[in-house]
Amino acid sequence: MAINWRPGQDLVMAYRGGRLAVPAVPGAGKTHVLAHLAADLIATGAVGQGKILIVTAMNSAVSNFRQRISRILAEKGIEGKRKFEVRTLHSLAVQILQEKTEVVLVNKDFNIIDEEQRKHILKGIINDWMRKQRQRWEGPLGNQPDLRQLEKWREQVADFLLAGISTLKGRGVQEPQAADWIGTLPPDNPLGWLLEVYLVYQRQLSREGGIDFDDMILKARDLLRLDQQLRQRLSQKWTYIFEDEAQDSNPLQEEILRLLSSSHGNLVRVGDSNQAIMGTFTAAEPELYRAYCRDPLVQKVDLLYASRSCQQVIDTANWLVRWVTEEYPVAACRNALEAQFIQLAPAGDSRPNPVVGGFPVVMCTYRNGEEEYQGVTRYIALAQKTYPGESIAVLVPTREIGAKMAETLAQEGIAARIVGEDLGSDLKRAMYGLVRGLKYLGSPDDLKAWIELWQDFFALELEPGDRETLLTFLQGYRPEELLYPPGQQQTLELLDALQSQEAYTVLQQGLRQVRDWLEASLRLVPDQLVLYLAEDLELKKEELALAHNLAGNIRYQLQLYPEWRLKEIASNLPVLEPALKKFALKVEEMMDSIDEKSVTICTCHKAKGLEWDIVFVIATNAYPYTGKLHHYSRSEYKLPGRIINLNAEAKAYLKQLQGMAITGNPLEEAKLEEIREKLRLFYVAITRAKKRLIITRAREYQDKNGKPRDSEAPTFWKEMANFVRVAGGKIYE
């Protein structure tokens, strides 16, 4: 069946070569179009002897793209699975390094340091540095700071150093440069502190024959730079290169893709600059994609027609774009959003926009935070009765606020799911960890027990695509081959097979944990082994009570059958399991009802790419939605008469050392960039709504000491309220 492509989509589908930029508004169907374009290029033979490489930021998107493209090709009657690859940047780096490992790796016995190992190593290095350099990092506090102030500042410095290593690597900084730059910086310069920690960390990795995930990307870039023949070979292998979520690209990723496409020039980059919200947490630089879109040698096709939201929500989002680009009071931030406006899907479109009467946008101001949580809860209860079957989400700026919102909902008997924090209940996970763990330890050669342990416990919280890949990989090995590999395991092949940093980290952590469990099983009786597992799993409260219940039942079994050992206890677990399941089943029943009846609670950052019928955007205050230069932000540290922003200072000096022009005050520029990103974050939040949008704030909130503090409205609040009121929406002050 032929697809009636929307304006813009038709031009993308006509693409056959060259450099292409595809800016796409929220809900424009960019993944749908990109998947169809890939399938079309394969079906028409445009890829030749090569294949299409699709690079995406999220592991979950890898599985999504694979399934979509495979399905489209199957509908065309084409077997084309070997004609495309979908990879994250990390898995792409692994693929490149596999081409010539001897050129870039320290030695053949290198180890890839997973994320947990990396944090552990870095925290040790940072603690040691802070102990030895106390006078330097305490200097900004002046003489005799109070203990509370000192501890808060210490946490600020430690967090800055921990996060800064990836930023340095994302900007391509390597050891020789770092060593040279340190001598040019004064002792109190935060970039100097970061470079010192960076050098110690890299030297420790080198001694241990390790590289982390960021190193792999750096080394892949270096290899492509140095080896023209390799670039040519990979260009023949990947005759088209697509980049999804290009607004979140960083300098290294962009350079790698440009190098890979330098021979044939077939580079398609799809993204939305107005949804660039990762700069605070990563090395992402939204300006890179904007510059690509402006390049006169790049064809640009806008995808502006979207069917996600009703006309009223679209009008509200477009108002925000127009107001920011034309009237935002801080003129330097008027470039926060691109002047691209969402259009309704054309008449007759197969996916029309929702149609809702009136103007279903509401803005509410409450006296304080507690009243806001209670007011939103009442509104949700009313919405569930009035609009049964419609999905509801509460978008929050921080996890702490999300937890408070969930607690208030629970008090009123409203089920809620916090995205990213309860993919499986704690009790369910505890039960599976204990039962599946014991079952495997009783029969370490039982392949079924081995797979069940990973399926129901270790891999439980992975994204579905990563989970499936990991379980498929595990089925290709006997447990002992992974737990105790002969010699050095083929690390790159392992990571390439998994194609996911998260899956690799889960595998390595799980293997380490199982080795410890196997050792403990040799010296502990079964009931004590259960409590050992509970301690190792860090079970708390109800989950720990579950472990004690299981241990007590096992102790009773051993009294009845004193000759039993772990193998017999494990084989008898089906008899003990029903008692454990009774409590867990209640949790499972609630979890089963979540999709249809519960409320989703999600941070605005995690909401990108998701959508709901009814969306509440709460805690919409000047903090955390920084809007003016005098607004306080999380990246700043207040001292009497002075504000310190370690990230801003370090970033400014790093740009200077890398030969970039520095204009104005680094602290002010950092605040301006934060304002821009917060405006984009609010835009992302409101464009998640399909039918109804409710935005709330409080005039007062409690600080960490429980004291009430005035809370300023965000910069856009007054003007947006005027727009909503005139359009026919409700404003409650």
- Determine, yes or no, domain membership for 348: no
What is the DSSP code string of 634-696? TT-EEETTEEE-HHHHHHHHHHHHTT----S-HHHHHHHHHHHHHHHHHHHHHTTEEEEEEEE
What pLDDT was estimated at residue 204? 92
Last residue of one domain, picked from the residues 182, 208, 234: 208
Judgement on whether residues 434 and 524 belong to the same structural domain of the protein:
yes
Q: In Å, how far are 287, 515, 620, 635, 674 from 624, measured between CA atoms?
A: 23, 44, 8, 11, 10
- Determine, yes or no, domain membership for 122: yes
Judgement on whether residues 146 and 69 belong to the same structural domain of the protein:
no
- Determine, yes or no, domain membership for 105: no
Per the structure, the count of domains in the chain is 5
CA distance linking residue 616 with residue 392, whole number of Å: 8
For the cut 50, the answer to whether the pLDDT of residue 592 exceeds it is no
| Beta carbons of 190 and 178 less than 8 angstroms apart | no
Last residue of one domain, picked from the residues 541, 565, 590: 590
For the cut 60, the answer to whether the pLDDT of residue 174 exceeds it is yes
For the cut 70, the answer to whether the pLDDT of residue 91 exceeds it is yes
Judgement on whether residues 566 and 438 belong to the same structural domain of the protein:
yes
Judgement on whether residues 227 and 371 belong to the same structural domain of the protein:
no
pLDDT (tens digit per residue) in 650-688 = 887 888 888 766 566 767 777 888 889 999 999 999 999
Tokens representing 507?
């595998």
- Determine, yes or no, domain membership for 356: no
Q: How many residues does the chain have?
A: 733
Tokens representing 439?
């079952």
CA 291 to chain centre: 24
Judgement on whether residues 75 and 134 belong to the same structural domain of the protein:
no
CA distance linking residue 5 with residue 665, whole number of Å: 48
Q: In Å, how far are 15, 232, 269, 455 from 298, measured between CA atoms?
A: 12, 22, 10, 46
Judgement on whether residues 455 and 408 belong to the same structural domain of the protein:
no
Judgement on whether residues 600 and 719 belong to the same structural domain of the protein:
yes
pLDDT (tens digit per residue) in 536-571 = 888 876 677 778 778 877 886 787 778 888 988 888
Instruction: Match 């919102």 to its residue by tokens.
Output: 405
| Average of per-residue pLDDT across 256-283 | 89
Last residue of one domain, picked from the residues 174, 208, 242: 208
Q: Provide the 3-class DSSP secondary structure of residue 322.
A: helix
Largest Cα–Cα separation, the chain: 82
Strand partners, 701: 709
What pLDDT was estimated at residue 585? 44
What pLDDT was estimated at residue 109? 52
What pLDDT was estimated at residue 541? 64
Looking up residue 455, the CATH number of its domain turns out to be 1.10.486
| Beta carbons of 25 and 303 less than 8 angstroms apart | yes
Judgement on whether residues 511 and 649 belong to the same structural domain of the protein:
no
- Determine, yes or no, domain membership for 692: yes
**End-to-end CA gap in the chain:** 52
pLDDT (tens digit per residue) in 362-380 = 999 999 999 999 999 999 9
Please give the annotated binding residues, written as ranges. 24-31
Average pLDDT of the chain, as a whole number: 86
Looking up residue 243, the CATH number of its domain turns out to be 3.40.50.300
What pLDDT was estimated at residue 107? 47
| Average of per-residue pLDDT across 152-180 | 90
Q: What is the percent of the chain where pLDDT is above 70? A: 89
Please give the annotated binding residues for ATP, written as ranges. 24-31
CA distance linking residue 544 with residue 581, whole number of Å: 15
Strand partners, 396: 603
pLDDT (tens digit per residue) in 107-161 = 445 677 777 788 889 999 999 999 999 999 988 887 777 888 888 899 989 999 9
Judgement on whether residues 472 and 565 belong to the same structural domain of the protein:
yes
For the cut 70, the answer to whether the pLDDT of residue 490 exceeds it is no
Tokens representing 540?
């708390």
Tokens representing 346?
């054309």
- Determine, yes or no, domain membership for 631: yes
What pLDDT was estimated at residue 110? 60
**What's this model's pTM, rounded to 2 decimal places?**
0.80
Judgement on whether residues 47 and 158 belong to the same structural domain of the protein:
no
- Determine, yes or no, domain membership for 166: yes
Phi, psi of 239 (to 5 degrees): -80, -15
> Which range of residues forms the domain containing residue 225?
7-99+217-306
Tokens representing 107?
């030695």
| Beta carbons of 394 and 599 less than 8 angstroms apart | yes
Judgement on whether residues 624 and 720 belong to the same structural domain of the protein:
yes
- Asked which of 37-51, 52-66, 353-367 is least confident by mean pLDDT, the reply is 52-66
H-helix or E-strand spanning residue 395: strand 392-396
Judgement on whether residues 183 and 273 belong to the same structural domain of the protein:
no
- Determine, yes or no, domain membership for 681: yes
